[in-house]
Structure 1
Amino acid sequence: MSELELFCLVLDDRPSVNRMFPVSISSTTSVGTLKEKIKEKTRPTFDHIAANILELWNVSIPIKHLSDDKLPNIAPKGSSLLPSDKMHDLFPNRLPEKHLHIIVRPPTVAAPPNPQPLLELNCLVLGDQRNHIFPVKIAATESVGFLKEAIKGKKTHRFNRVDADDLVLWRVSEVFDENLENKLQQAEFPTKPSLSPIDELGIVFLNSPVKGRLHIVVGRLIDERQQDEDAISDLSLQRRRLDSFDFARPTKRARTAKDDEESPSTFLRRLRNKSLKSELPTLAALRAFLNTPLEESDKVPISQAQFDSILSERPEDICTREDVLAVFKVGEVGLPSLGFTNALKALRFSQTEDGYHHYWDSNIRDILEVLIPEGECIRNSNYHTETGKARPDFGFLIHKRCVFRGEEKGPMSFGDPALELIETLVWVYDLAPYILGYYANETVVTFVAITHSEDGRIMRHDLETIDLKYTAHRILNLRRMINISFILPRLATMVHQASPGLQMLERPNCYISFPNAKLVMKTYTCADGLDRVRHLSWVYRTLKEANVPNTDSLVSSKRNVVFLEPVGLAMPPNTVGQLRECILCILDALENAHKIPLYHRDIRKENIIQRIDDPSKWFLIDWEHASTMPTLAQLNFARQTHSPAIFENNHGREVDIWGVGYLILDADGMILPEIRELGDRICRDSRKLTVLQTRELVIAVFPVPV
């Protein structure tokens, strides 16, 4: 009995020489067994069909004679192989090397389903009655911008003179019942952040939209010449405001000196100036800082009628004049005041966490967005899924630094938000002595500081607790939110690394996002996205079987999306010692990978990630271009960052060895002359060096860490 290594190729609608794959099989086994192995090797390509439906032909075609443009014209001779045929009968002689041996054809009738699932979204124009809800079907891979075009097409008469990019969309999940119109009116959509036109719908609706609910609310932008320009500027808006189609526009009157003194824009400017000058309180002083009374100039201007309406003598919810004066004063009302007065509305009690989201947002998120317009709020859209548990329910980012986060639980939710607040946190906050946050159990909210000890423990320090069902407590919460806004920008300046898990990166062929603190989600937007996912699935399975260390790993994949772990820090080595450890980690990975043999082929500092749990360790990511032999030239690679051998067919380990040398040369200003000479030598001799020889050179030249 002997072992055969058969090179196989699937002739589907987009065949490629680069997708050829080897299958090891005993010479005594049958074609039926080979079909099973091919199905397993190419998972998930043939998951939707039985292995016995695959058709196989044995051929003997030199690989050098194959090219992608010729593959569609290949017509195997004769009938396909019978399941009972034996390998030793089909290949009685020694297999020719560098040849294609098996052609695979999937049956036409078993073609996989459309890889681009359609979303069916129920939409409603803001201000319309629920009987005007209309559906829009659109691919999950399309953007919010394309959804705007589809909505304009559906409502041609309504939006005849409106450009699609002037439409504003909000994502909701509201039950279609008699209370729908009231819920939408109370939501105050014109004050809330809308969907970005570049957002992919598959990410906006990571979980399938719930049937029978409203999913999208539609508004539009109109010119507002009479709006207070200062107030609009302070809210970081353009000279346009949201029109809900049935809201009356304000008219402008002559301004007075008192107007300027008490205007919402002046109030916001004072708060911003105070924020820039605020000193960061110590951890011990934080509780007192949160409760610091507001100066008169820091209070929110509202009308006399609004002021009087807040007062309450009801025994179950007493709110005195002194309570209101803690945050508000009588003055000119404007857009900046709106976010604060919205927080005073009582909660309509709900039995679900969804029902509380608007309430938590009104008292926390909306306030931060008014006070710190350069900030960015994120919510975990996966709070019903297992993978979503490691991402905070709420995060507030300033320049991609998450300095304020929250965990929330409704009455029917499980888990402890206080514990989840620190369990989900990866500490990347450099010089910041703490960050701030909160945890909420229904209406009870506790503000906290989060610190990081020298032994690596993340600790929570409870500061103050309030119950938002009481009006006086909601006002007290506003005061604390204003005080918090004074120091969040200062905390952000002390953090040098963007928060992992709370950002999205755009690449030419994909989006990279972080659904939680442990997972990387890569969503391919290119035409061959499915092929890339299949290739990555095979690569990571091969790495795992070979126990290759210091790499990321594939957790799962679905259609054009892969989930990888762990999340690390995209920070290049900044000392000679770190560079040495980084190079040795990469060489450890290459040593095992080359035994397969599998070649990474794209070793650059952009694909080297530092571990968060152990900053002395590094791992190799982005195996998208990895390949076994025979390899094909990668003519689209940049010549200045890749080995000359990569532009030739049948290259091997030398491209990875060269990449290690380039990592050394690309290490900025830390290079000693002898280390630079080492990098040059590794690149120059990459065709002769093995991984072990390269390791010996690195150990010999780099100084031993003390």
Structure 2
Amino acid sequence: MDDNTPIANFLNSFVDEGKTRQDQATAVTKIFIDQWITTLGDCKKFTVEDLKEWKVPAMVVKGLDEQGFLKPSTEKAINDISAEIVKKLVQTPNRLPNKSDLPNFLNENPPIRIPLAPVHFSQFNTSLGGITEEERDTYFILSMEAECTSLYSRLLGQLIYPPSYGNTEDSYHCLWDSIIKNTIETFGMHSFSMSVLEFDCNTSKRTSTGSNCPDMVVLVRNVCPLRGEEKSQEDAGDPSRELVDKFKDWTYGDTPYIFAYYAIGVLVTFVTLHKAENMLNKKRKSSVYSERIAEFNLSHLSDRIRIMNFLRNICRILPIIVNLCPPRDLPEFQTITRSNGTVIELGYAVKKRFADEKR
């Protein structure tokens, strides 16, 4: 121990005064206890088990317990209020934001913070540089009474500890799905207007015939208001252009835009796709334009939390977008696999891929 530390100086003062070692230990313990009382505030909110879980020194736990600062350990378990909290987080606004207001809307902070028990709240470690205290406290709050246990298990835990990945496109699929698809599914299933939320993916990405279907599609009442192109860094191509090129016509009625993203490894860029406002430029054949609205790096915890919030806000307005679209009797995109292995893709064109075609 450094002789210049406050504790060392404190102990030396006892030696000078002829204090016994027991007196020294008792006094130092009291200092620690007083410091923890100051840090924890009303200690009666916590149990012995809580403090042990946080690695509070045993002598401090014992002292707090003996002096009656802690609440009994026999109280009921923390309630899981995940469904209640998520419903509040995905409330649909009164109107669809216009394109100029959209970036601000999609980055809006949540109206309430997600309550988490100490064991889960502490996983957002602010000392390792992954996320700042300000970022953590924008989205989450420490709670001893009720917490979002199932939301942590289903989504938040995967954001903190994402799947590993390599260099190939296949190696990224678990990462993309655990963060992008999982977030949309988690928030979407709690929206009354999106009680039926479906996903589909392009099954012929490696074939020479190609596909008119995006790599990932989200279907709400057979309409696709959100789609994505997913590539590895080694075979990226131009996924932004690919999103537009796969459009045949604008079939989304009066909705001013739909959403799309393209992922190149850990980098994910979100865009809006919208109908051309005029066709004065005859050289441009496409009737659909894209406009970039956000970019995230999935290798950073802070960006994984931000993309969760971004997708949460997208889920809030997907029902409005779908309501502005003409109704569909059949899914906009659909993949059917026959018993003999033949795959039929339904989208802007019908494409068959037989079982013996090389993948």
TM class by shorter-chain length? 0.5 to 0.7
The DSSP-based 3-state class of the residue aligned with 1:396 is strand
| 1:354-373 to 2 correspondences below 5 Å | 354-373=170-189
Of 409, 412, 415, which aligns to 2:234? 412
Q: CA deviation at 1:512?
A: 9.4
1:432 paired to 2:255: yes
Of 113, 124, 140, which aligns to 1:328? 140
1:271 paired to 2:101: no
Q: CA deviation at 1:497?
A: 4.2
Of 218, 225, 238, which aligns to 1:403? 225
Q: CA deviation at 1:318?
A: 3.3
| In structure 2, distance between residues paired with 1:505 and 1:377 | 13
Question: What residue identity is the alignment partner of 1:327?
Answer: Y
Question: What residue identity is the alignment partner of 1:416?
Answer: D
| In structure 1, distance between residues paired with 2:116 and 2:153 | 9
The DSSP-based 3-state class of the residue aligned with 2:123 is helix
Q: Compared with structure 1, are the counterparts of its residues 514 and 255 closer, same or farther at alpha carbon in structure 2 (3 Å cutoff)?
A: same
User: Would you say how many aligned residue pairs link Structure 1 and Structure 2?
Assistant: 261
Query: What percentage of aligned pairs have identical amino acids?
Result: 25
| In structure 1, distance between residues paired with 2:355 and 2:164 | 40
Q: Which structure is larger by alpha-carbon Rg, 1 or 2? A: 1
Q: CA deviation at 1:347?
A: 4.8
Of 306, 323, 330, which aligns to 1:476? 306
Q: Name the residue aligned to 2:111.
A: 295
Of 290, 296, 304, which aligns to 1:460? 290
Q: Name the residue aligned to 1:308.
A: 122
CA offsets 1:670-693 (integer angstroms, 9 cap, x no match):
xxxxxxxxxxxxxxxxxxxxxxxx
Q: Compared with structure 1, are the counterparts of its residues 369 and 388 closer, same or farther at alpha carbon in structure 2 (3 Å cutoff)?
A: farther
| In structure 2, distance between residues paired with 1:409 and 1:363 | 16
1:495 paired to 2:313: no
Contiguous gaps of at least 5 residues in structure 2: 1-74, 190-195, 280-285
Q: Name the residue aligned to 1:654.
A: none
Question: What residue identity is the alignment partner of 2:217?
Answer: G
Question: What residue identity is the alignment partner of 1:514?
Answer: E
Q: CA deviation at 1:440?
A: 1.2
Contact 2:103 2:293 in 1 (8 A): yes
Q: CA deviation at 1:310?
A: 1.6
Q: Comparing both chains, which one has the higher relative contact order based on Cα–Cα distances under 8 Å and sequence gaps of 6 or more?
A: 2
Q: Name the residue aligned to 2:245.
A: 423
Contact 1:388 1:515 in 2 (8 A): no
1:518 paired to 2:349: yes
Contact 2:159 2:301 in 1 (8 A): no
Q: Compared with structure 1, are the counterparts of its residues 558 and 444 closer, same or farther at alpha carbon in structure 2 (3 Å cutoff)?
A: closer
| In structure 2, distance between residues paired with 1:388 and 1:300 | 43
The DSSP-based 3-state class of the residue aligned with 1:390 is coil
Question: What residue identity is the alignment partner of 2:117?
Answer: S
Contact 1:380 1:388 in 2 (8 A): no
| 1:217-228 to 2 correspondences below 5 Å | none
Of 156, 165, 168, which aligns to 1:352? 168
Q: Compared with structure 1, are the counterparts of its residues 478 and 278 closer, same or farther at alpha carbon in structure 2 (3 Å cutoff)?
A: farther
Q: CA deviation at 1:369?
A: 0.8
Q: Compared with structure 1, are the counterparts of its residues 558 and 485 closer, same or farther at alpha carbon in structure 2 (3 Å cutoff)?
A: closer
| In structure 1, distance between residues paired with 2:241 and 2:150 | 37
Q: CA deviation at 1:349?
A: 3.4
Q: Name the residue aligned to 1:441.
A: 264
Q: Name the residue aligned to 1:283.
A: 99
Q: Name the residue aligned to 2:154.
A: 339
Q: Compared with structure 1, are the counterparts of its residues 462 and 559 closer, same or farther at alpha carbon in structure 2 (3 Å cutoff)?
A: closer
CA offsets 1:589-644 (integer angstroms, 9 cap, x no match):
xxxxxxxxxxxxxxxxxxxxxxxxxxxxxxxxxxxxxxxxxxxxxxxxxxxxxxxx
Q: Compared with structure 1, are the counterparts of its residues 420 and 269 closer, same or farther at alpha carbon in structure 2 (3 Å cutoff)?
A: same
| In structure 2, distance between residues paired with 1:410 and 1:558 | 26
| 1:587-626 to 2 correspondences below 5 Å | none
Q: CA deviation at 1:313?
A: 3.0
| In structure 2, distance between residues paired with 1:439 and 1:353 | 13
CA offsets 1:650-675 (integer angstroms, 9 cap, x no match):
xxxxxxxxxxxxxxxxxxxxxxxxxx
Q: Compared with structure 1, are the counterparts of its residues 558 and 319 closer, same or farther at alpha carbon in structure 2 (3 Å cutoff)?
A: closer
Q: CA deviation at 1:409?
A: 1.1
| 1:641-656 to 2 correspondences below 5 Å | none
Contact 2:224 2:332 in 1 (8 A): no
| 1:663-682 to 2 correspondences below 5 Å | none
Q: Name the residue aligned to 1:380.
A: 202
The DSSP-based 3-state class of the residue aligned with 1:387 is coil
| 1:172-251 to 2 correspondences below 5 Å | none
| In structure 1, distance between residues paired with 2:106 and 2:219 | 20
Q: CA deviation at 1:448?
A: 0.9
Runs of 4+ in 1 over 4 A off after TM superposition: 253-256, 557-561
Q: CA deviation at 1:560?
A: 12
The DSSP-based 3-state class of the residue aligned with 1:384 is coil
Q: Name the residue aligned to 1:127.
A: none
Contact 2:236 2:264 in 1 (8 A): no
| In structure 2, distance between residues paired with 1:505 and 1:362 | 24
Contact 1:388 1:516 in 2 (8 A): no
Contact 2:231 2:264 in 1 (8 A): yes
Q: Compared with structure 1, are the counterparts of its residues 300 and 278 closer, same or farther at alpha carbon in structure 2 (3 Å cutoff)?
A: farther
| In structure 1, distance between residues paired with 2:304 and 2:167 | 21
| In structure 1, distance between residues paired with 2:271 and 2:262 | 8
Question: What residue identity is the alignment partner of 2:254?
Answer: L
Contact 2:259 2:272 in 1 (8 A): yes
How much is the aligned-residue C-alpha RMSD, in angstroms?
A: 2.9
Q: Compared with structure 1, are the counterparts of its residues 358 and 383 closer, same or farther at alpha carbon in structure 2 (3 Å cutoff)?
A: same
Contact 1:410 1:442 in 2 (8 A): yes
| In structure 2, distance between residues paired with 1:479 and 1:414 | 26
Contact 1:447 1:465 in 2 (8 A): yes
CA offsets 1:104-151 (integer angstroms, 9 cap, x no match):
xxxxxxxxxxxxxxxxxxxxxxxxxxxxxxxxxxxxxxxxxxxxxxxx
| 1:40-59 to 2 correspondences below 5 Å | none
